Amino acid sequence: MKGKYNLFISIILLITMIISSTVFALPEVKPLKPVLAEGVVFDGTQSSWAKEEIEKAFEYGLTYPDIMKNFNKEITREEFCTIVVKLYETLTGTEAEAGANPFSDTKNPEILKAYNLKIVYGTSADKFTPDKNITRQEICVMIYRALDVSISELDRSMPKDFDFADKGKIADWAIDAVKFAYKNNIMKGTGNNEISPLVNTTREQGIVLLKRTYEQYMDKDSQGLSKDGGPVSGGLINNLTVSPSGGVKFVFPSGDKVKDFTTEEKKFREVVPEENLAFL
């Protein structure tokens, strides 16, 4: 009887050991990390008038994480460089390249991209001053230059009426850009018949300005073509994206080479076989 009891105890202990080893052998269960919903996660600092336009700018790819918070904070030269490069890249479908760095106070590749595109310059021969707040007239200049290198036939005409009381405060190097921005509904007055060229701009204002600029020029021909309608580099073109006058974009697949095409759709189709065209 005692032997049977010992056997029973042994079996119970064995089963307990097996169950215990099985439990402890299970992989550790870690808590799931929270997953943010797609889209903009606001921090509550945005203005009500700007919320929808910020969301749209995000959808267009005109923002980046560091600028999507503290929306009423004044935007810096570095921050606006970053988003104005995105305007160029989004309009042209081309990734900007960073050039040589002449500055001792920044290594930000987005600044170097803007500098290489001649969208922005330094505050001295070797200084960029990335943390300096940007003024309204500086924003106009950077937007104008970005459009100038993005749009093949940019209308550079100036407005006939520009009678702001403070227009004398606009720097000589910025006057054409401010007039251009005003004429094209990119930047308007601030009230009391003033345009406030020396006033700083907030992050949300900078984002909204670029969003409105993009929407106005998103269907314009990009700089895939020169102003006379021919290839920028002439001769053989490889892996080029261009926009014919009808607004439809054609992509030449990498490796294909095309010679002497124009922006006229008919001529385009004569030069490039239908099967070599990809529609976007």
Ranges 3-7, 81-85, 110-114, 251-255: which has the least confidence: 251-255
Residue spans per domain, the chain: 51-217, 236-279
Q: How far apart are CA 243 and CA 176, in angstroms?
A: 27
Q: Measured between alpha carbons, how far is 201 from 72 in angstroms, rounded to an integer?
A: 9
On average, the pLDDT of the chain sits at 77
Least confident of 37-51, 120-134, 220-234: 220-234
Comparison of pLDDT for 214 and 20, the residue scoring more? 214
Residue 167 confidence class, pLDDT cut points 50, 70, 90:
very high
Query: Which pLDDT does position 268 carry in this prediction?
Result: 40
pLDDT band at residue 133, thresholds of 50, 70 and 90?
very high
The pLDDT assigned to 152 comes to 87
Backbone φ and ψ of 151, nearest 5°: -105, 125
Instruction: Please give the structure tokens belonging to residue 175.
Output: 């006057």
Angstrom distance (rounded) from CA 59 to CA 212: 13
Between β-strands 278-279 and 241-242, what pairing exists: parallel, antiparallel or unpaired?
A: unpaired
Question: What does the pLDDT average to over 116-129?
Answer: 96
**Is the backbone of residue 186 left (phi > 0), alpha (psi -120 to 50) or beta?**
alpha
pLDDT classification of 39: cutoffs 50, 70, 90: confident
Alpha helices (H) along 125-242: 136-148, 175-183, 203-217
Token pair of 271 as six digits: 């030069």
Chain center to CA of 174:
23
44 Rama sector, left if φ>0, alpha if ψ -120 to 50, beta otherwise = left
Q: Mean per-residue pLDDT for 164-189?
A: 94
Q: How confident is the model at residue 16 (pLDDT cuts 50, 70, 90)?
A: low
Q: Are 148 and 117 in contact (CB under 8 A)?
A: no
Q: Would you give the distance in Å from CA 121 to the centre of its chain?
A: 19
6 pLDDT more than 70: no
* Average pLDDT of span 61-69: 95
According to the model, what pLDDT value does residue 3 have?
57
Task: Give the range with max mean pLDDT: 69-83, 217-231, 236-250, 252-266.
Answer: 69-83
Name residue, tokens 């002449």: 102
Residue 224 to residues 61, 117, 215, 243, 253: CA-CA distances in angstroms? 20, 15, 19, 7, 15
Residue 251: beta bridge partners?
A: 241, 278
